Structure 1
Amino acid sequence: MTVSQTFLAVDLGASSGRVLAARFDGRRIDLYEEHRFPNGPVAAMGHLYWDVLRLWSEIQDGLRSARHTHGNTIASVGVDTWGVDFALLDRDDQLVGNPYCYRDPQTQGITKPAFELVPKAEIFAESGLQFMEFNTLFQLWALKRANSQLLESARSLLLVPDFFHFLLTGEKANEFTDASTTQFLNPQTRQWSRDLLSRFELPAEILQTIVEPGTQLGHLLPAVRDATGLGSEVQVILPGTHDTASAVLAVPANGVGGERPDWCYISSGTWSLMGVEVSQPIVTDQCQSLNFTNEGGVGGTIRLLKNISGLWLIQECRRIWARQGREYSWDQLTGLAEQAAPLRSLINPDDPRFVAPVDMPAEIAQFCRETNQPVPDTEGAFIRCAMESLALRYR
């Protein structure tokens, strides 16, 4: 008789997080949501941060819930999150500050001086990554240019999922799929581009060894076992720690595409990522001119994709309306959108004004006024405008 095993997954997104349990009896996998909690950037003193210690508390709550439900069948746990953002640790392995959110304004306008220092084509040739102002390379260089004491004090850099794996085990490593979002990992060698870091005068010594998805990082620290009730037998095994890498692994398609893949994916959360899975990075002039990106996949693959502003538009509308006393579930918003007139107003989801707006509905309305379109006049019209604009952007 096969003994059931349970595998825990911590899935952190930009607007929410959850702890899931997958129970496998030898033939069937059953999924259970053990804990769900909100997430979002915290504004303080002109910056946007992630409250990683609250997230850590929520993760432990989820692990305790899973232990209560599934007992000693739990075999492993792993964490995935969004890309690019990072935690810095000092010589005592303590946080030197709350990690910045990628929507923080410190990198606004940074690409122009960056390209004057290192030409755009040379950065792309070394990284194969789409140019976005919040990529880790530019976040670190912003700290460097500001003579930040955070960077001066840093002895270790852990990307967000790496940081939570460190809290679980005490072990440091940079997992490949999330490392590939930094813009200083070479997709050909699958190692850090120390030359690129040197040209930006950034400290390569704070980076960790790159490890692959599936790596057994270690066992839970005694303090974590005490806090959650999980046993010493529970292993921390790294998934594709970039959430899209794990999502693409689950796409029900056979094989990895060659030069002309016959399937593509759209993974839509706060961001929408649309692309194909290929066996080798595509680092060409055409790829650069179209601003495509080569990110790491699970099993040695490359995800050739385009980043598109996704459900962030709708999440922010919902947040603003809730603040005004009008709270809607996702199903309610979908129903309101269905009742609105089709194709009445359209926006460019990737317009910079939508990256970190104070009031998303107001920004959408202003875009429509500037482009001589009808301004949405109901919540349903705003949601329909956002959804149809995303659909056309995908096309």
Structure 2
Amino acid sequence: MSHYVAIDLGAESGRAMLGTLAGGRLQLEELHRFLNEPVRLPNGLYWDAFRLFRDIREGLRKAGRERNLKLDGIAVDTWGVDYGLLDANGELVVNPRHYRDPRNNAAYDAALAAAGKENIFEQTGLQFMALNSLYQLYAAKLAGSPGLRAAEKLLFMPDLLSYWLCGSKKNELTIASTSQFYNPTLRRWSTELLETLGLPTHILGDIVPPGTRLGSLLDDLQDTCGLGETPVFATAGHDTAAAVAAVPAIGDRPWCYISSGTWSLMGVEIDEPIVTPRALELTLTNEIGVEGKTRLLKNIAGLWLVQECRRAWLLEGQEYSYTELTRLAAEAAPFAAVLDPDQFLEPGHMPERIAAYCSKTGQNVPEGLGGFVRVCLESLAFRYRQVLESLESLVGHRIEVIHIVGGGSKNALLNQFVASATGRTVIAGPTEATAAGNILVQAIGAGEVKDLKQLREVVRNSFELETYEGKPDPAWDRAYERYVKVRGS
């Protein structure tokens, strides 16, 4: 029996998850949960990196001091793109900014003008989004950031937190591939692109694959947390890469995945990147996964729309759980309206903005809270179908199975909507795919799990999965045609 801790940080919360591996089965237990809230300062939006590390330390303390566990590994995964900068002494000189920081938008336009959209895609194969690390760095340059001038090392969020745990300053592969200055074809940093934009290249470090042992937990953390000499691994540092590693696919039928949460990441796992004009036209992205696989995927707004509706209603004094909102959505009339989920990426006033969108596109405004939520879920299912067709056009075959993993896989109504909208088999679970993937990649690094194939076998043996069958339905097809028309307009 072995014990690993996954530090799993999302855009709203973080957890220290204990994974116990025995007899080819994995059991997960939450040791510590904490909020991850950005801090808005007069000059921008930041992550509270020091408080996050304090909570990570508290999770490890619970493992060591309260549970008296001997850990076989610790590893950190986080959301993508965000980073901190260190000086020559290893001190943080630029605190990680939030990917929604408003200064990125102007830098995005300026970078495209300076380097050329086709050139950037040819070198990186990545989807164009203003939040990508490339535009954050360029925003720092345009702002004349003293921290950027002093920087000697760039560490993405899981790299930074791992450095504070064990003292190793490495860039893990999967998180590096979200930056838009990593070349997935040549499998190295795209230094030429950074040079074109006048950005420093010496801050880029050695890239290590997931499963690499970075070092041992620092002495003061061993003492504080009651842990002995404990390995710190680079897991699949990008949370989506960890979740995709834990997709319980057998491979007997062509499959794709949806990592479902605040964002939906939908894609296929392939051996080599597809960096073509057609991929650029479809705005698909090539990121790297475990065992060097390419994750050809699309970032979609996801359950963000429902989360923002709920937040708006809470401010009005209407408090409903997600379970209650889903029940109301199931009772609401179908196909009242359709939305383009990716038009609603900014926070605030979500129900009002949805109503305005419906009016602008000549549709009826949804009725009641359930009506709004149902429109969001149905539209998300239609967006999945559209992305599915894009993926199929690139890989050249029909995808028969859709694996939905992550927290959003608990939404049975959305799962059935996806099956109905696409006419494909949907397999939902595990909900804790990211933590499971984090831990089992550590186990690969420790030699306890052989490879990605065995990792997925452990997942299938460890978690209950739900299957939803799609059937031909003219009503869904008609509504999808309306969605395509509205989105195109």
The question of a shared fold, defined as TM-score above 0.5 by the shorter chain, is answered with: yes
Counterpart in 1 of 2:277? 285
Match of 1:252 in 2: 248
**How far apart in 1 are the matches of 2:28 and 2:165?**
22
One of 362, 367, 375 as aligned partner of 1:385: 375
Cα separation, 1, equivalents of 2:31 and 2:24: 22
Which runs of structure 2 are paired with 1:54-69 in the superposition (5 Å)? 54-68=51-65
Q: What is the aligned-residue identity percentage?
A: 50
Aligned 8 A contact 1:41 1:51 in 2: yes
Per-residue CA deviations over 1:78-126 (Å, capped at 9, x if unaligned) read 1111111111122332222431111111121444332221121111111
Q: Matches of 1:40 and 1:100 in 2, distance apart? A: 12
Distance 2:366 2:95 in 1: 38
Amino acid corresponding to residue 62 of structure 2 in structure 1:
S
RMSD of the alignment, in Å?
Answer: 1.8
Q: Secondary structure of the residue that 1:96 maps to in structure 2?
A: strand
After superposition, where does 1:127-276 map in structure 2 within 5 Å?
127-232=124-229, 234-254=230-250, 262-276=254-268
Q: In 2, distance between residues paired with 1:342 and 1:46?
A: 44
Contact 1:219 1:236 in 2 (8 A): yes
Deviates more, 1:51-60 or 1:109-118: 109-118
3-state DSSP of counterpart to 2:4: strand
Equivalent of residue 298 in structure 1, options 259, 269, 290: 290
TM-score, reference length from structure 2 = 0.75
> What are structure 1's unaligned runs of at least 5 residues?
none
CA drift of 1:197 comes to 0.8
Which of residues 23, 26, 35 in structure 2 aligns to 1:26? Answer: 23
SS at match of 1:299: helix
Q: Which amino acid counterpart does residue 111 of structure 2 have in structure 1?
A: A
CA distance in 1, matches of 2:271, 2:67: 38
Aligned partner of 1:198: which letter? E
CA distance in structure 1 between the aligned counterparts of 2:180 and 2:96, rounded to whole angstroms: 18
Q: Relative to 1, partners in 2 of residues 1:355 and 1:45: Cα closer, same or farther, differing over 3 Å?
A: farther
Q: Which amino acid aligns with 2:348?
A: V
Aligned match of 1:362 = 352
Say if 1:103 and 1:355, in contact at 8 Å, map to a contact too: no
Give the conservation status (yes or no) of the 8 Å contact 2:70–2:227. Answer: no
Q: Is the 8 A contact 2:17 2:32 kept in 1?
A: yes
Residue identity matched to 1:388: E
Aligned position for 1:394: 384
Shift of 1:380: 2.1
Is the Cα–Cα contact under 8 Å of residues 94 and 148 in structure 2 kept in the other structure? no
Higher relative contact order (CA 8 A, sep 6+): 2
CA contact (8 A) 2:65 2:225 kept: no
Q: Would you say 1:88 and 2:85 are equivalent positions? A: yes
CA contact (8 A) 1:6 1:70 kept: no
User: Is the contact between residue 270 and residue 294 of structure 2 (CA under 8 Å) also seen in structure 1?
Assistant: yes
Q: Deviations over 1:289-308 (max 9, x none)?
A: 11111000101110011111
- Superposed CA deviations along residues 287-346 of structure 1, whole A, max 9, x for unmatched, are 111111100010111001111111221222222333333333222222222222222122
State the alpha-carbon separation in 1 of the partners of residues 74 and 25 from structure 2.
19
Question: What TM-score do the two structures reach when normalised by structure 1?
Answer: 0.92
> Secondary structure of the residue that 1:139 maps to in structure 2?
helix
**Cα deviation code 1:35-79 (max 9, x no counterpart):** 222223332225221112221122222222223564233211111
CA distance in 1, matches of 2:150, 2:312: 37
